[in-house]
Chains A and B, each alone.
Chain A
């Protein structure tokens, strides 16, 4: 009996439940997809590097899942409380007929179980389907081999999803029972009587509060966007608090002013159904200020998370192309009795019958120089003291790296970059690491001359140029001097560089060459090191390969993308679902109003237009403010992400907009269409 009642209740109020059910399904599906990534990618043939990153990704997604489940839990509790409120009359009827509160709780319990099992089942099915797509995406991101791929179901993720959502539904059940046990019959009965007292807020107060909160928001924007350098965690928290409170107050005051402003425009107000539309909106805006503010802030977080995540990934991939133009780089420096001793490493390996250069189709082999009288401290000139105050922990005694013009140009030819020219008494300073570039630029303005190896040189340019030797995935060159060939002193040679492209075409061949080089290298080290064991010789070397760098970059990029997508998606559907639920239930409440409009002869198209505007405003208002927030929020996050590069920001914002348009816009459209069918004439 109770079961039948519950079941028919769900069927009857399916229109109310549909969007809730729909959201739960998406929630379950997204939860499954991201938790199944670990197992879904186990089949991929990837290197140790990549699989380490996938492992890290799995752990991070695990952690985030807890956070996500809290958000979803709140959404579910909110939605179920909301749906329960709508049924107060029904509960009152049960109580009047003599049904005990326990049995009403039981009805709700059964309903929650039906909805829970239904959404979990459908959501998991969809999730399993989507995760196959996800595997393709993962394989794509990690550039992994997909040939051994088969359809896969992650039992681990299924169990995890079931447990997490089980707990959420349990919380809802407890919450519902608690609500039922507390409610009073008289309140339930009277809840149907609309006591819609439209209070017009004091307009003067509204204007004052509006101005104050706009100013406060402006201040927070200013601090976050332009005062980024002296931003502490405490200050950031303060700004976030100011932002949140002013968001609420802006909605509060706008809702109060909006109607008055519109009403004063008599021409517009008394045109068609406008007066009806605005009254509908303002009667609801007053009661939804709080939820609008929360939604606005959540949208703000979503926009920033998604754009930042995509931006990190995009600029990392773009940087990789620019900053890592060749396959291989080997740097070598030797210290004998703690004194730097230049060694031609290629010649040395020949002594051990290792011919690394045979593996290369093209390469450049050169060395850089260091002048003991030209250290980092010397290069800073008159700005040294200032610098030391700000950055105490830098090594100021290190000699600056100096490269001959011909070597540098040879390298640039290999890299496919622009070569440079120099007059006899000139030098060029290369630096692309942003914070360092700023320091060096100021120095160049005041100290244009340097003295190296007894020659005095003048800077060709007034600021640092973009250029680098080491291949990497980011702009990491902190300073490099290019000088005319005649200037350098061969005795001051420092590190040996060997940079080149493999003698191989395909990816697999390159990997094979690289493996061969590594094993040759290991052989060399293992035979050479014992020969110098007692001679107080220390060597430092670094071997960078494009394969390694790109794996790390791609891995990091993919990780950021996944986490951004995960949080973004959940936030987005939560926001949209709350608005959609509210809109739909408002439509149910307004059926009689639309019925009346029809009776006095309003055009069906005018009614649809009015409904469209109402729905649109409620979706648009929080999004608008969130967009404004995001402009400044992104400015701040770009500051934080500077090292990653921010070149591809426009593209990331575009991508984020498309996602929001699809999901948020989708919810808007569904809400509008459902509302339309709710208010459709029943004749």
Chain B
């Protein structure tokens, strides 16, 4: 079933004299329950794409449909409501509030949806168990490791049962062990909860956990590969092949 449909979107920066096309006519669709990774070198436009989907940024032209609602036309309150109810965010730098405990950070996502405290408590404890962070719920962010912080951030993103989880370089600030743990959790959410995940990364290893990888170069979709029935190792090799094919352009992507 089609969840997200991106139709010929463009995003320009700058003035008429010096125009930068960050996104140059991109179209693709994401089905419900898919785990899509978007790869590309820095400056390729992948973060801009994510920002446009997450409504943090506006497209110059084109349309983005989530469950057949054109989110490029949403404004003000509708936009906030959309973000609150349909999307979950995971950022590279975690973006946790340092003044709140882990529990409160996760609860905040629910409380701004005006969920009752009793249900908040249930939902937070439930998600904490799934992500294995029950033990650190009463700690403050500065008392946690990077992996724990990222899991708290993930818990905050999924506790509201969003239609689409957007992750921007989620493993960027993690060591390889924590990264692996986090990605396995993503897979778990993807399989067990049928969560739709869209992840931006420049790391082939991270991308290999996805079911489909889109390669972006100079604001265009350059290539696309699906995992099919391959295991993760085989898929990883395929990704490496494409990256190698891309050549020097993505040296920094390795």
Binding site for B on A (CB under 8 A): 194-198, 266-267, 269-276, 279-280, 283, 592-593, 596-604, 606, 683
B87 and A601 form a contact (CB under 8 A): yes
B142 and A196 form a contact (CB under 8 A): yes
Task: For the A-B complex with A197-B142, A273-B112, A275-B108 known, give 5 more contacts whose Cβ atoms are closer than 8 Å.
Answer: A270-B111, A279-B97, A598-B80, A599-B54, A600-B108
Output the least CB separation between B78 and chain A (Å).
Answer: 11
Chain B residues within 8 Å of chain A by Cβ, number: 33
Considering the chains assembled together, what is the distance between the CA atoms of A280 and B98 in angstroms? 10
Output the least CB separation between A398 and chain B (Å).
Answer: 75
Q: Which of A197, A276, A601 contacts B80 (CB 8 A)?
A: A601
Considering the chains assembled together, what is the distance between the CA atoms of A452 and B98 in angstroms? 87
Chain A contacts for B82, CB-based, 8 A? 601
By beta carbon, the residue of chain A nearest B109 is A600
B117 and A600 form a contact (CB under 8 A): no
Considering the chains assembled together, what is the distance between the CA atoms of A322 and B52 in angstroms? 77
Considering the chains assembled together, what is the distance between the CA atoms of A602 and B156 in angstroms? 14
A683 and B57 form a contact (CB under 8 A): yes
A276/B108 contact (C-beta < 8 A), A196-B142, A599-B95 known: yes
A266/B117 contact (C-beta < 8 A), A601-B84, A601-B87 known: yes
Considering the chains assembled together, what is the distance between the CA atoms of A275 and B111 in angstroms? 9
The 0/1 profile, CB within 8 Å of A marked 1, for residues 72-116 of chain B is 000011001111110101010001011110001001111110100
Considering the chains assembled together, what is the distance between the CA atoms of A600 and B110 in angstroms? 10
Considering the chains assembled together, what is the distance between the CA atoms of A80 and B197 in angstroms? 49
Q: Is the interface of B mostly helix, strand, loop or mixed?
A: helix
A270 and B117 form a contact (CB under 8 A): yes
Chain B contacts for A601, CB-based, 8 A? 80-85, 87, 112
Closest CB pairs A-B (n = 3): A601-B84, A601-B83, A279-B99
Q: Which of A194, A269, A270, A604 contacts B98 (CB 8 A)?
A: A194
B142 and A603 form a contact (CB under 8 A): no
Considering the chains assembled together, what is the distance between the CA atoms of A266 and B110 in angstroms? 14
B111 and A273 form a contact (CB under 8 A): yes
The 0/1 profile, CB within 8 Å of A marked 1, for residues 40-79 of chain B is 0000000000000010110000000000000000001100
Chain B contacts for A194, CB-based, 8 A? 98
Output the least CB separation between B86 and chain A (Å).
Answer: 9
Chain B contacts for A593, CB-based, 8 A? 97-99
By beta carbon, the residue of chain B nearest A268 is B117
Chain A contacts for B110, CB-based, 8 A? 270
Considering the chains assembled together, what is the distance between the CA atoms of A400 and B26 in angstroms? 108
Chain B contacts for A602, CB-based, 8 A? 80, 84, 112
Chain A contacts for B77, CB-based, 8 A? 603
By beta carbon, the residue of chain B nearest A603 is B80
By beta carbon, the residue of chain A nearest B156 is A600
Output the least CB separation between A258 and chain B (Å).
Answer: 14
Asked if B120 is an interface residue, CB under 8 A from chain A, the answer is yes
A600/B84 contact (C-beta < 8 A), A198-B140, A274-B111, A683-B57 known: yes
A599/B114 contact (C-beta < 8 A), A275-B104, A275-B107 known: no
Output the least CB separation between A408 and chain B (Å).
Answer: 75
Output the least CB separation between A681 and chain B (Å).
Answer: 9
B56 and A279 form a contact (CB under 8 A): no
Output the least CB separation between B13 and chain A (Å).
Answer: 13
Chain A contacts for B99, CB-based, 8 A? 196, 198, 276, 279-280, 283, 593
Considering the chains assembled together, what is the distance between the CA atoms of A266 and B121 in angstroms? 10
B89 and A600 form a contact (CB under 8 A): yes
Interface residues in B106-155 by Cβ distance below 8 A to A read 107-112, 114, 117, 120-121, 140, 142
By beta carbon, the residue of chain A nearest B85 is A601
A600/B83 contact (C-beta < 8 A), A266-B117, A270-B120, A273-B112 known: yes
Chain B contacts for A196, CB-based, 8 A? 98-99, 142
Chain A contacts for B114, CB-based, 8 A? 271-272
Which of A198, A267, A276, A600 is most buried by chain B, counting CB atoms within 10 A of its CB?
A600
Considering the chains assembled together, what is the distance between the CA atoms of A632 and B4 in angstroms? 67
A272 and B112 form a contact (CB under 8 A): yes
Considering the chains assembled together, what is the distance between the CA atoms of A274 and B100 in angstroms? 11
Output the least CB separation between B166 and chain A (Å).
Answer: 10
Chain B contacts for A273, CB-based, 8 A? 108, 111-112
Q: Which of A269, A279, A592, A603 contacts B112 (CB 8 A)?
A: A603
Considering the chains assembled together, what is the distance between the CA atoms of A267 and B118 in angstroms? 8
By beta carbon, the residue of chain A nearest B96 is A596
Chain B contacts for A592, CB-based, 8 A? 95
A279 and B104 form a contact (CB under 8 A): yes
By beta carbon, the residue of chain A nearest B58 is A683
Output the least CB separation between B177 and chain A (Å).
Answer: 25
Output the least CB separation between B155 and chain A (Å).
Answer: 12
B56 and A599 form a contact (CB under 8 A): yes
Considering the chains assembled together, what is the distance between the CA atoms of A271 and B121 in angstroms? 12
Cross-chain pairs A/B with CB under 8 angstroms, 25 sampled = A196-B98, A197-B142, A198-B140, A269-B117, A270-B107, A271-B111, A272-B112, A273-B111, A275-B104, A275-B108, A276-B97, A280-B99, A593-B97, A597-B108, A599-B56, A599-B91, A601-B80, A601-B81, A601-B83, A601-B85, A602-B80, A602-B84, A603-B80, A604-B80, A606-B112
